[in-house]
Structure 1
Amino acid sequence: MNWNNDIQKAQYNQTRRDFLRTTTKGLGAAAIGSLIAPNLLSGQPNSIPGSGGVLKALHHAPKAKRIIYLFQSGGPSQIELFDYKPELMKRHGEEIPDSVRGNQRVTGMLAAQSSFPMVGSKFEFTQNPKTGGYFSNLIPYTAQIAEDICVVNSMYTEAINHEPAVVFLQTGSQQVGRPCIGSWMSYGLGSPNQNLPSFIVLLSRGKPDTQNLNMQSWGNGFLPSHHQGVQFRSGADPVLYLSNPDGIDRTSRRRELDYLERLEREQQAVWGDPEIDSKISQYEMAYRMQTSVPDVTDLSDEPDYIFDLYGSDARIPGTYAANCLLARRLAERNVPFVQLYHMGWDQHGNLPKDIQKLAKSSDQASAALVTDLKQRGLLDDTLVVWGGEFGRTSFSQGKLTKTNYGRDHHPRCFSMWMAGGGIKPGINYGQTDDFSYNLAENGVHVHDFQATLLHLLGVDHEQLTFKHQGRRYRLTDVHGHVVKGILA
């Protein structure tokens, strides 16, 4: 090999045009790589390039990159919405058979009730000719996207009261203190968007007199605190304490944070507390969010046809419809986990009237979100989940009249739907008995549901763990199986 000749060519014969021609692909690849994975060339030990998560690599090919979880807090009645039961309507008013009720646990609210008359839904159902699924006339918009969603009618849980049931679905434990799904995602996968939190929470109310939620539902538990959900609010300041005080400009804020980090690093060298790293991370995220949050929460650039798609409430900040539209904007910016909580589904009495309000406030916007994601090419890698913490009883709570009834909590079976992100569309999975009181086929436990969510993200639920107090914990505890029957 003639080294002198090669060196001479490099020094004298390589023109500017030759350089650009021969290195275009390399420069282009580097540029694309920096956009896809900002830290790819930085030398930082990020798990999945550019993410900040702890996983070295995904356990298998993912189907979903992000999740939008539309949590309907209070326990929507499956009997009024998805689980069509003509036999229950036929035997309306009859006492529920002991063979059906068995020795299942009931809440303390039924302690003084001596009669348990069965009550069928007073709302009409329509069967989709292609999917075979039934949809109540309370949810006409959801019925229109039947071919895009998978309805699971065989969900079940052990929790029978609201707070432990909500916490169980979100964290895998009925007791508070465990990390929720969004925190596990943030911890394991990180986020490709460095200017917005990896886990964002949005709250809305279907009616004013609703039970409040425990913030543990979006808490980080024993994971580092920067993995907790960040709540966005309606109003001038979507995130509390994000705006600079009067007299503090962005340059001053940057200088303050730099000095603060130097102090924090000195403390870290002495104490070795990982929470110091979390605080530094949160301060830096807040600084970046001062410009990114106003941009994403400003809906003024949305065209009228989008507002029409989501419904008139989409123009009112803080409503469920506005939050669904905001969730789509966050998905466009690659926020990995967006959790919407819509409160008000707890109908122990006056159910026929109240459930109409809640269904109306949720139905159009939920369906619009799926439609909007689909038309933008985002549904294929975005998993949308709709459902509450448990179902409702087949018998009436309190007095049954011709026009009114209520339903108590029922953990043994309830309905949920999912769309996009690797879910098989246009199917109905699982069945209940003729009274929607017991499971009949393909039960899906809370832990199975959680294992399936992680599977769709490319994560083996048994391998994403965190050591705490001498034990390795995971979202699914020591349970859970992937529900393969609903996977595309």
Structure 2
Amino acid sequence: MDHHDEPFRIHSPEFDVLHRQLDRRNFLVQTSLGLGALSLGSLLGCTKRDRSAPRPDMAEKAGNFETEILKALPHLAPKAKRVVYLFMSGGPSQFETFDYKPKLVDLFGKELPDSVRKGQRLTGMSANQSALPIAPSAFRFNQYGTNGTWVSELLPHTAKVVDDLCIVKSLYSEAINHDPAITFLQTGNQLPGRPSIGSWVNYGLGSMNENLPAFIVLVSKNAPKDQPLYARLWGNGFLPSRYQGVQFRSGKDPVLFLSNPEGYDGEDRAEMLDYLAKINRVQNEVYGDPEVEARIAQYEMAYRMQTSVPDVLDIEAEPDEIFDLYGPDSRDSGTYAANCILARKLLEKDVKFVQLYHQGWDNHGQLPKGIVRQCKDTDQATAALIVDLKRRGLLEDTLVIWGGEFGRTVYSQGQLSPQDYGRDHHPRCFTMWMAGAGVKAGLSFGETDDFSYNIVKDPVHVHDFHATLLHLLGVDHEKLVYKFQGRRFRLTDVHGQVVHPLLA
């Protein structure tokens, strides 16, 4: 038999040791070669394909159970082909944004009635307060759009696009503190370890762009770092590592360890990857671990990204009209406004799921001062993204989401005056909005009581929100499952209903 027909073998004492002794963890650590393999986990499986077709690229590599799950997708005709999720970390106050409560003006400083609170849990920050004095918003509201939707004076640009928004005022969560609440919104569970929304979408639907990740994360550099953000919020959990989100940063190295080391021209990178593939096959013969094959695919994607990433991150070539639309901060890479422009560019490249995080909404004290800054930093760019997507014909099949992890209390935490107050966490009701693919434009859905403390009409649980999001992408949330440790998991766990009144 010709030696070319034989399986590849490397004959040396060192590789004999590899066959005998090298465990999976040591192999992965020792062959990572600094290409950011962990952060590039979601880059596998981005074979270009028709979105409406099954996923043969991943189905062939998955086990029998996952094969059947992936072949069945999409379950219904998708309205949304891509998602951009603008996450306002810290919990924006509904009182100062969209949930207008004029009757509170006459109740300034009065105690929150027990009949409203109903013994509901308070955080440790306000549980020991001697009183819970009512704090009306210091800001005016006006009606906008064809349906006369109430919007705060803090959001003048968002008010102009209110006819494109589907505002949900009756969201509620189960978590009262930041970390479990954010984790719940991003993964469907309060405890860490579950896959993020973007990872579930990547697992089920994949990507059409073979040179960029399917799930990309952007974090504003111009936001107060009041509450930390952890990479697990866009992590893959128990899904294979190829499905996790990849964070793009501002600065010299937008993706960590993607650039060539200083003094290295990269000319032999392809040859190096070829040798890595050969080493990988040796290791795979020993252990048969699919993560070993995934790792070399990540290297190869990183190689392609060295060309694609600089091109997509270059926003300096945008016309002045775009920078004027998104606001003065948009010229400064890494700001929320600049990230909104970058998000639009990524969506144009058919990246499936783009998530922007903007911290600083946790206003326990001096809320009027803090929320003025937050709205100033985000309002214009948020509205500009809607306008920009719409005029490019992308809004009709792109789902835009805006919101935080919970709302704020009607009572003041700490000092109270007409122009100075704070608000504690409130998971019982809060506001989010969606726009674009498949949602009813110009709709204001759900109602809270006069204190925005309890929901009185059309409650929407976090699981319902997730079920509706997946439905818009053509996915039945009860059928997108993954078997782990003997159990079939899904984003909505064993809960969730699609909120059909939100759908166009």
- Contact 1:206-1:357 at 8 Å conserved across structures: no
- Contact 2:59-2:71 at 8 Å conserved across structures: yes
Shift of the 205–39 alpha-carbon distance from structure 1 to 2, 3 Å rule, reads closer
Larger displacement relative to structure 2 (104-113 or 271-280): 271-280
Aligned residue runs from structure 1 range 44-443, under 5 A: 45=57, 54-443=70-459
Structure 1 distance, partners of 2:197, 2:223, is 26
Shift of 1:395: 0.4
Structure 2 distance, partners of 1:306, 1:205, is 20
Shift of 1:54: 3.2
Residue 8 of structure 2 is matched in structure 1 by: none
Residue 35 of structure 2 is matched in structure 1 by: none
Shift of 1:251: 3.4
Aligned length: 450
Shift of 1:233: 0.4
Task: Tell me the SS of whatever aligns to 1:248.
Answer: coil
Shift of 1:143: 0.4
Task: Tell me the SS of whatever aligns to 1:109.
Answer: coil
Structure 2 distance, partners of 1:393, 1:482, is 28
Structure 2 distance, partners of 1:129, 1:80, is 19
Shift of 1:114: 1.1
- Tell me, which stretches of 5 or more residues in structure 2 are unaligned? 1-46, 61-66
Q: Does 1:37 align with 2:53?
A: no
Shift of 1:274: 2.0
One-letter amino acid of the structure 2 residue matched with residue 37 of structure 1: R
Larger displacement relative to structure 2 (201-210 or 72-81): 201-210
Structure 2 distance, partners of 1:377, 1:47, is 32
Shift of the 40–71 alpha-carbon distance from structure 1 to 2, 3 Å rule, reads closer
Structure 1 distance, partners of 2:253, 2:464, is 38
- Contact 2:167-2:432 at 8 Å conserved across structures: yes
- Contact 2:389-2:395 at 8 Å conserved across structures: yes
- Contact 1:394-1:436 at 8 Å conserved across structures: yes
Structure 2 distance, partners of 1:45, 1:222, is 20
Residue 475 of structure 1 is matched in structure 2 by: 491
One-letter amino acid of the structure 1 residue matched with residue 393 of structure 2: G
Task: Tell me the SS of whatever aligns to 2:168.
Answer: strand
Shift of 1:465: 0.7
One-letter amino acid of the structure 2 residue matched with residue 93 of structure 1: G
Q: Deviations over 1:117-151 (max 9, x none)?
A: 11110100011251232100000000000111111
Shift of the 441–464 alpha-carbon distance from structure 1 to 2, 3 Å rule, reads same
Shift of 1:93: 1.2
Shift of the 39–357 alpha-carbon distance from structure 1 to 2, 3 Å rule, reads closer
One-letter amino acid of the structure 2 residue matched with residue 418 of structure 1: M
One-letter amino acid of the structure 2 residue matched with residue 409 of structure 1: H
One-letter amino acid of the structure 1 residue matched with residue 117 of structure 2: R
Residue 10 of structure 1 is matched in structure 2 by: none
- Contact 2:223-2:358 at 8 Å conserved across structures: no
Shift of 1:246: 3.5
Structure 2 distance, partners of 1:39, 1:117, is 53
Shift of 1:47: 5.5
- Contact 1:77-1:392 at 8 Å conserved across structures: yes
Structure 1 distance, partners of 2:96, 2:71, is 42
Structure 2 distance, partners of 1:39, 1:450, is 21
Shift of 1:206: 4.9
Structure 2 distance, partners of 1:209, 1:236, is 22
One-letter amino acid of the structure 2 residue matched with residue 230 of structure 1: V
Shift of 1:272: 1.7
Structure 2 distance, partners of 1:74, 1:215, is 16
Shift of the 285–45 alpha-carbon distance from structure 1 to 2, 3 Å rule, reads closer
Structure 1 distance, partners of 2:133, 2:501, is 35
Shift of 1:278: 2.3
Shift of the 362–223 alpha-carbon distance from structure 1 to 2, 3 Å rule, reads same
Structure 2 distance, partners of 1:106, 1:55, is 46
Scaled by the length of structure 2, the TM-score of the pair is 0.86
- Contact 1:385-1:416 at 8 Å conserved across structures: yes
- Contact 2:251-2:333 at 8 Å conserved across structures: yes
Shift of the 425–129 alpha-carbon distance from structure 1 to 2, 3 Å rule, reads closer
Scaled by the length of structure 1, the TM-score of the pair is 0.89
Aligned residues: CA RMSD: 2.0
Q: Deviations over 1:249-302 (max 9, x none)?
A: 343111111111121122122212121132122111111100000000001210
Structure 1 distance, partners of 2:324, 2:420, is 33
One-letter amino acid of the structure 2 residue matched with residue 439 of structure 1: I
One-letter amino acid of the structure 2 residue matched with residue 407 of structure 1: R
Task: Tell me the SS of whatever aligns to 2:268.
Answer: helix
Residue 16 of structure 2 is matched in structure 1 by: none
Shift of 1:44: 5.6
